[in-house]
Amino acid sequence: MERTDKRLTMLPYGQQWLDEEDIEAVVQVLRGDFITQGPMIQAFEQKVASYAGAKYGVAFSNGTAALHGACFAAGIGSGDEVITTPLTFLASSNCVLYQGGTPVFADIDPITYNIDPRQIELKLTPRTKAVIPVDFSGQPAEMDRIQEIARLHNLIVIEDAAHSIGADYQGRKVGSWADMTMFSFHPVKHVTTAEGGMIVTDNEVFYRKLLQFRSHGMTRDPQELTRNEGPWYYEMQSLGYNYRMTDMQAALGVSQMDKLDGFIDKRREIVAIYNRELAGIPGLVLPEQHPEAASSWHLYVVRFLPEYFEGSRREIFEAFRDCNIGVNVHYMPVYLQPYYRELGYAEGLCSNAEAYYETAITLPLFPKMSDMDVQQVIDVTKDIVRRFKKGNV
Ligand SMILES: *Cc1c(COP(=O)(O)O)cnc(C)c1O
């Protein structure tokens, strides 16, 4: 049996890329007067909002907090239903639970893996208040159709764009489609602030609510105060949290944003190599693109169809890991988590997402990968295909 030369260390599926400029940007903040609640926050917010084609940005301590803020601003509460995809990270539906709302899962399109607009329509009820589409793997969901459904039924659209900053749909940037769009700056995402997140929006009412929610529900804005007892005076007008980002993080974010387009180019180059080198292998399904979508490629997911391969997905997964290729699985349908099962969600709810989950493996993809890293992923994948291939297919 052929062996691929084993790497000495595990290649992760995703990783940040920081350079001396990034480090210097953080150090400068540390040497200055404001390490939190200073001027870098607005600089970062403006940079991301203008990049994404939105008017306002509100930075948060992480993407999950940002989603929580968006659900608050949308007025989600007890008795409200919010439709989202099961193929996502926990935060996309947990944010609905935080507000006392009910997540409703609509199945994915089996080709793009994004929420299927027809399935959204099937899940609508008089209680539906919002939709949270997720741009899975970096490919925008079908935002034109989702917006159309939302307009028709008076729903708020909160786009979970944790995977898709820099992507576009019908030539329009992610961030300019939904009522509110969330970006995450976790180190595996396109640009990082270690932990961090942001909502971008064109809506001033949402913007003001998000600002308050991020900081205890407080305001000092003279326009918003019900009375004014003096220069010290502030008011708490709603129940908020401390979800603030620090200036060190925002400075890192500003510096990283300058590199975003270069990072996306590099991701697209690696994807083109994977697509070319792994094409035409029977039973190995490569990621497909919607004709209107231009992904910014957070994840490269392949599927090993069981009809073509001996052994389970688990054995195939472990074979990659044995070769120090740090593959991953994104994601088990959220409602199959024990906590959600206890809430009453059950297997069989979204058959496409469940079928997807049984066969998916995420290959490493990040801009700092070397040519050799990329080649090793390809060699190991081809080797595993040979080792696990069924005899007579
Ligand atoms: C990363 C991620 C989040 C949450 O972001 P954090 O910054 O880690 O809180 C939400 N949704 C999706 C789809 C993600 O991948």
* Ligand 1, pocket-test mutation among 160, 185, 301, 330, most atoms within 8 A of CB: 160
2 in a structural domain: no
Does residue 85 sit within a domain? yes
Atom from ligand 1 closest to the CA of residue 64: 9
Distance CA 187, CA 14 (A): 8
To test the ligand 1 pocket, which listed residue (184, 185, 245, 298) has its Cβ within 8 A of the most ligand atoms? 184
Q: What is the pLDDT of residue 80?
A: 98
Q: Please tell me whether residues 252 and 277 are part of one structural domain.
A: no
Residue 10 lies in a domain: no
Do residues 26 and 137 both lie within one domain? yes
Is 13 within a domain?
A: no
What's the confidence (pLDDT) of residue 4?
Answer: 52
Domain-ending residue, one of 230, 257, 284: 257
In degrees, to the nearest 5, what angle opens at C-alpha 109 toward C-alphas 103 and 110? 125
- pLDDT of the residue at 2: 45
Q: What is the pLDDT of residue 393?
A: 54
Whole-angstrom distance, CA of residue 158 vs CA of residue 222:
29
Asked whether residue 109 is domain-assigned, the answer is: yes
Asked whether residue 163 falls in the same domain as residue 265, the answer is no
CA distance to 2, 6, 18, 299, 303, per residue, from 325 (Å): 17, 9, 22, 15, 16
Indicate if 298 and 217 belong to the same structural domain.
Answer: no
Tell how far the Cα of 306 is from the centroid of ligand 1, in angstroms: 30
Phi-psi region of 372 (alpha: psi -120 to 50; beta: other; left: phi over 0): alpha
- Tens of pLDDT along the chain (393 residues) come to 444 567 889 999 999 999 999 999 999 999 999 999 999 999 999 999 999 999 999 999 999 999 999 999 999 999 999 999 999 999 999 999 999 999 999 999 999 999 999 999 999 999 999 999 999 999 999 999 999 999 999 999 999 999 999 999 999 999 999 999 999 999 999 999 999 999 999 999 999 999 999 999 999 999 999 999 999 999 999 999 999 999 999 999 999 999 999 999 999 999 999 999 999 999 999 999 999 999 999 999 999 999 999 989 999 999 999 999 999 999 999 999 999 999 999 999 999 999 999 999 999 999 999 999 999 999 999 999 999 999 855
Query: Ligand 1 test: best mutation among 13, 48, 61, 92, most atoms within 8 Å of CB?
Result: 92
Q: Kindly report the CATH number assigned to the domain that includes residue 40.
A: 3.40.640.10
Count of domains forming the chain: 2
Residues spanned by the domain of 220: 20-257
pLDDT on residue 156: 98
Q: Distance from CA of residue 194 to its chain's centroid?
A: 15
CA 334 to ligand 1 centroid distance, Å: 13
The candidate with the shortest Cα–Cα distance to 365, out of 276, 280, 299, is: 299
The atom number, within ligand 1, closest to the CA of 88 reads 13
Do both 265 and 377 map to the same domain?
yes
Predicted structure pTM score: 0.97
64 and 128 fall within a common domain: yes
Q: Does residue 81 sit in the same domain as residue 177?
A: yes
Same domain, 109 and 190: yes
Residue 242 within any structural domain of the chain: yes
Nearest-CA residue for ligand 1 atom 2 is: 162
3-state secondary structure of 325: strand
Show which of 229, 257, 285 is a domain's final residue: 257
CATH number at residue 370: 3.90.1150.10
Cis peptide before 243 (omega within 30 of 0): no
* Residue 136 shares a structural domain with residue 275: no
| Tokens of residue 183, six digits | 């970006």
| Amino acid 360: pLDDT | 98
**How far is the centre of ligand 1, averaged over its atoms, from the C-alpha of 393 (Å)?**
39
Residue 366 lies in a domain: yes
Tell me if 283 is assigned to some domain: yes
Counting from 1 in the atom list of ligand 1, the atom nearest the Cα of 91 is 10
CA–CA dist 112, 122 (Å, integer): 19
pLDDT at position 7 is 87
How would you list the strands of the sheet with 300-304, edge to edge? 284-285, 300-304, 360-363
Domain final residue pick, 257, 273, 290: 257
Residues 250 and 283 grouped into a single domain: no
Buried b vs exposed e over 141-151: b needs ≥16 C-beta within 10 Å? Answer: bbbeebbebbe
Same domain, 41 and 180: yes
Position in ligand 1 atom list of the atom nearest CA 196? 7
Question: Are both 341 and 253 inside the same structural domain?
Answer: no
Predicted pLDDT at 5: 64
